Amino acid sequence: MSALTEVLGIDRPILLGAFGGLSSVALTTAVSEAGGLGAYGLYGYDGDRIRKTATELAAATDKPYTLNIWLPMGDEATPSAQHMAFAQALEPFYAAVGVEPPARPESYMPSLDEQLEAIWEAAPAVLSVVFGVPSDDLVGEAHGRGIRVIGTATTVAEAVALDEAGVDAIVASGSEAAGHRVSFLKPAEESLVGTFALVPQVVDAVRAPVIAAGGVSDRRGVAAALALGAQGVQVGTAFLATRESAANDAHREAIRTTAADESVLTRAMSGRLSRGVRNRAVRAIEAGGMIAPFPTQNWLTGKFRAPAGQQNLGELQSLWLGQGAPLATLDSADEVFAELAAGLA
């Protein structure tokens, strides 16, 4: 048993990536029941929705899992008079899915305090955070409740900051990874370090166990991560392609057919840099030259992305995937887990 598996209370050092908007109870449970650490992303969830999700997870498994939140960076936009101008720039996409441009809300996101209150009640085995360093109060409260804390770094400096904050483990997320680049000390564009370079440097710089993320899709990626000094891996795209995830058929097809050099980093869909497919929506938004700041853009595009997902319209969704997408060939979470576990030997 490694320090990582011991501290997280799991049998195998294989962690599920937390998907904002694409997490499912079925996938979280499957990974936890297999002996890894399932994960559920709570981006945008208010307290009541967190409590409902936690109740469903508790009914599905008694194994450890992590709940994931985004920390405020202090630069988040609030609803303003510019809201409708940004919404009107996206009007063709609203029309394509049959909805009206959304009116300005009171808030784009629930408060961190509201989310944490519900998380403390849920008492997951692990709380993972992205986009920053958890405060002393947050770490202390979690530890006082027996909850482990995982932070995520895209550079060595970020990993050191997390280590000094007393997190229990650190995810070293290489630039190959799917979805948002969760950089917080420098702009994401200046923090694009690949997994192969990042992981051993983080291992050398911190005391906490290191988890490798980005480009890990099969047993070869696991073996490579361990050789680099990581004590475990976090896997997103390979699990996202399985039938247990909340991805639809269009998203799964994109994962199967997008070459490593075809995924792109873009701010088009959320206002923050993310890796995914340059589909019709991304191309048009980038060409239009009007991208609202985060979280305005994320909230606005979400109003057409959700119905697009229900209608299986991949060209209008956020099709997040990593550069290892072509390696994501298995259909079930159990198959993916078994393939990854084979790299632990």
Q: Name which of 283, 266, 302, 288 is nearest 94 in CA terms.
A: 302
Taking only the tens place, the pLDDT of each residue in 67-125 is: 999 999 999 999 999 999 999 999 999 999 999 999 999 999 999 999 999 999 999 99
Q: Say what the pLDDT of residue 345 is.
A: 80
Q: CATH number of the domain that 241 lies in?
A: 3.20.20.70
Chain center to CA of 229: 23
Count of the separate structural domains present in the chain: 1
Taking only the tens place, the pLDDT of each residue in 213-252 is: 999 999 999 999 999 999 999 999 999 999 999 999 999 9
DSSP-derived letter for residue 98 is: T
78-87: burial string, b at 16+ Cβ within 10 Å, e else: eeeeebeebb
Give the residue numbers spanning the domain of 338: 3-344
* pTM score of the predicted model: 0.96
Task: Report the share of the chain in percent with pLDDT over 90.
Answer: 98
Q: Say what the pLDDT of residue 1 is.
A: 65
What's the pLDDT band for 20 if we cut at 50, 70, 90? confident
Q: Say what the pLDDT of residue 208 is.
A: 98
What's the pLDDT band for 143 if we cut at 50, 70, 90? very high
